Amino acid sequence: MRIMAMDYGERRIGVAVSDPLGIIAQPLDTIEIKTQRELIKILKGLIVENQVSLLLIGNPIDHKGNPTRMSQQINEFVSALQKECTVEIRLWDERFTSRLAVRSMQDYGIKPGKKDIDAIAASIMLSEYLATHRV
């Protein structure tokens, strides 16, 4: 079973998924947010399609570890998603993942596009999780 990660933003959600062994994370998609209901429907499809057993959702905390203004929105989203989905959901520290995504793209000579940054940020978050949860 795979692990999926989400970098939740106000306009876009970056999504990444692990390989079946939980070793490698790769960007999967960037979803434009129209409505929460539509987003949940898309995520449910991705969870089934990719045989996901755990969903990580980026926890937007500040550099001191305090909740940010997005924290409440994400908590409400998690509550709505849990009513529609049986997959295990965990919040995970997403501090600096967008900055790391931009830096990684620049290091490879790729011009960072907003859609790419979100999916790569989700992949970085998932890579960090996988590195700390090796079996």
- Measured CA to CA in angstroms, residue 125 lies from 41, 113, 122 at distances of 23, 18, 5
Cα angle value 87/52/125 (rounded, 5°): 95
In residues, how long is the chain?
Answer: 135
Q: Are 115 and 30 in contact (CB under 8 A)?
A: yes
Residues 85-131 have pLDDT tens digits of: 999 999 988 766 666 655 665 566 666 666 677 888 898 899 889 99
Distance CA 78, CA 9 (A): 13
Q: CATH second-level architecture of 2-132?
A: 2-Layer Sandwich (3.30)
The identity of residue 27, as a single letter, is: P
Residue with the bigger pLDDT between 61 and 30: it is 30
Residues 69-97 have pLDDT tens digits of: 888 899 999 999 999 999 999 998 876 66
12-18, strands of its sheet edge to edge: 25-32, 12-18, 2-8, 52-59, 88-93
pLDDT band for position 9 (cuts 50, 70, 90): confident
Domain locations in the chain as residue ranges:
2-132
Beta bridge mates, 59: 93
